Structure formats: C-alpha cells, structure tokens
Amino acid sequence: MGRKHQGSVGFIGLGTMGREMARNLLEAGFAVRVFDVVPAAIDALVALGAQAASGPADAARDADIAITMLPDTPQVEEVVLGAGGLRADPPRGRLVVDMSTIAPVAVRRMAADLKASGIDMIDAPVSGGPMGAKNAALSIMAGGEAEAFARALPYFEAMGTTINHVGGPGAGQAVKLCNQLICGINIQAICEALALGRACGVDLDQLRQVLLGGSAASWMLDRLGPAMIAGDDAAGFRIDLMLKDLRLVQEQALALAVPLPATALVTSQYVEARAHGEGANGNQALFRVYDRMANQPRQTVDG
C-alpha cells in the first residue's frame, strides 16, 4: 500500500478514541509515533505500524504535528506544559493539536503560553463516539489561527468527515460544550421515554423503531437505545467522561452567567449514576437511574 501522505504525527493518548484516530492516521499514510501511560496501548499501535515513544516529547520531537487525545484538562496541561512536555520540547513543525474535551479557558491559557514560545495550538474536540473514530467519520470542531488550522487539516481529514474551523483559541471547545449539553439532555429524554413506555407495557424495541421514524429521532436514540433496552452497560463513552463534560459546561455557563437549568438537572442524574458505581459504564447506563427511581429490577444483558 503506497503512502498517500508524507507528514508525521506524534500521537499522545491511545484510549477508546485515540487508538482509532491514530490507526486512521497510519492508514492514511502518515508516519505516526505514539505514547500512552499504558504500555499495552502503545504495543497495540506498534503492531499496526506505528513507532513507540518513551514520552510525549519523544513522540512529537521529529513530527510535523503533535496530537493529544487525553481524558481531561489536567492531563493535557501535564503533557503540554509539564516536565518532558511539548512546550519544553516541541514538535519540529511547532504545531500542537489537542482533540480531547477540556476547559476552553485552559485552552486559551495554553495557546497563549505556547505562542510565546513560537508554537501554534489548535483545540479540536470531536463528536461521533468510538464508531465515528473507528470509521474516520468524526465531526471535528477546531479553534485557533487560520494558518495553523490549514496545516492541521490534512490530518483532520484522515480522522473525520465534518471539519469546521469555528473561531480563535478555545472556540472548538465552546462548540463541543454546546454539543455535550445537547447529548446529555437528549440521553435523559430517551431514558424518560423508555421508562414511560415500559410502564405502559409497550415493546421497547418497537417503541425505539417507531420513534426513529419521526421527529423524536436522534443519534443517541439510534446508537445508545439498543444498549439501554438490553441493559448493556459496556462503555463507549463513559459516565465519568460525560460528568466531566457537564461540569465543564456548567463552569463555563456560570462564568458567563448563562442559566442552564436542564443541564443542572441531568448533571445531578449523572452524579447519582456515578454514586451507584456506574462511572466506568457507558452513558446508556443513565437508564439505570430511571430503574432505581421507578424501583424496577435491574435488567442486564444476561436477563
């Protein structure tokens, strides 16, 4: 298979999303050097043709672009600003792209900090879940300078299909927080519909099919509905990560005095889910909150 691209990437963070994104970069022909704190995650990518790195700077040093896909703001700050990080030892191309979902204010701080060292930063969070990552079909919402976005675009095109430059530093994260607010409230609406349908004795698979054909259709109902109905809590997007996103939404909203009552309500349900040990389960496990409120026996995939 001939290389379609000449560029090189240092990719840091090979979890649910990052491993698929790094694989798609490899498949597009880029040279990819990878790092994760979990050695097995590195090995899995090396088996697909990536090079192993001993740390973030080692992954990025000889690359045109460094991409991070990490859980939350502190991990990105550590990898970018910490000892052995990308600010102290930047990629050859002096371009850092964070694709995690983190606080917009932290992005603006980091972008200014990096700029002072002659390094460009783009925030480019994604939507589309693990399947979107696997199929290189992510929606990518990017913030930062236009020239830096243009340099990152060929790499984005290897990972996504809907790619938008939405403003300056932090703008990508602002759009992603709006996305997450809708996702969280939408999952809650689906839980409520399934809880009511179940109590009415309606067949839930049929209910979902009917709803998908009308104005209640949504990505969440389509993708998470089957797992909710089957009681399959296996993670895709973890409850813990959504709780992190809803916290970021509310921190941003409070800073700007924007009232978001529905977000506050659904956040308390996510808190309840985590308190019942569901943090590592997928978002579909929010339905368990409704099981508990209705005192319904827990349904599981095993019956």
Smallest gap from residue 18 Cβ to ligand NAD (A): 5
Smallest gap from residue 40 Cβ to ligand NAD (A): 9
CA distance 3 to 163: 23
3-state secondary structure 95-118: EEEECCCCCHHHHHHHHHHHHHCC
Report the residue number, 69 or 119, with the smaller CB distance to ligand NAD: 69
Q: Which residue has the tokens 């002659």?
A: 118
Interface mask (CB under 6 A) for ligand NAD, residues 176-215, using x and -? ----------------------------------------
CA distances from 72 to 244, 294, 297 (A): 8, 33, 34
- List the catalytic residue out of 4, 134, 176, 244: 176
Determine whether 176 is an active site residue: yes
CB atoms within 10 A of CB 98: 31
The answer to the question of residue 139 lying near ligand NAD (CB under 6 A) is no
For 67-86, the DSSP string reads: EE--SSHHHHHHHHHSTTST
Question: Angle 239-255/261-275 helices, nearest 10 degrees?
Answer: 150
Report the residue number, 11 or 198, with the smaller CB distance to ligand NAD: 11
The helices-and-strands tally (H runs, E runs) of the chain is 13, 9
Stretch that binds ligand NAD, among 13-21, 25-33, 196-204, 290-298 (CB under 6 A): 13-21
CA distances from 235 to 21, 62, 241 (A): 18, 35, 11
Smallest gap from residue 206 Cβ to ligand NAD (A): 27
The answer to the question of residue 279 lying near ligand NAD (CB under 6 A) is no
Residue closest to ligand NAD, measured at CB: 15
The answer to the question of residue 36 lying near ligand NAD (CB under 6 A) is yes
CA distance 7 to 67: 13
Interface mask (CB under 6 A) for ligand NAD, residues 53-92, using x and -? ----------------xxx---x--xx-------------
Closest listed residue to residue 285, CA positions, set 245, 248, 255, 240: 240
The answer to the question of residue 296 lying near ligand NAD (CB under 6 A) is no
Stretch that binds ligand NAD, among 8-16, 158-166, 192-200, 292-300 (CB under 6 A): 8-16
CA distance 287 to 233: 10
The residues that touch ligand NAD, with contacts defined as CB under 6 A, are 12-18, 35-38, 41, 69-71, 75, 78-79, 100-101, 126-127, 129-130, 236-237, 241, 245
Which residues form the catalytic set?
176
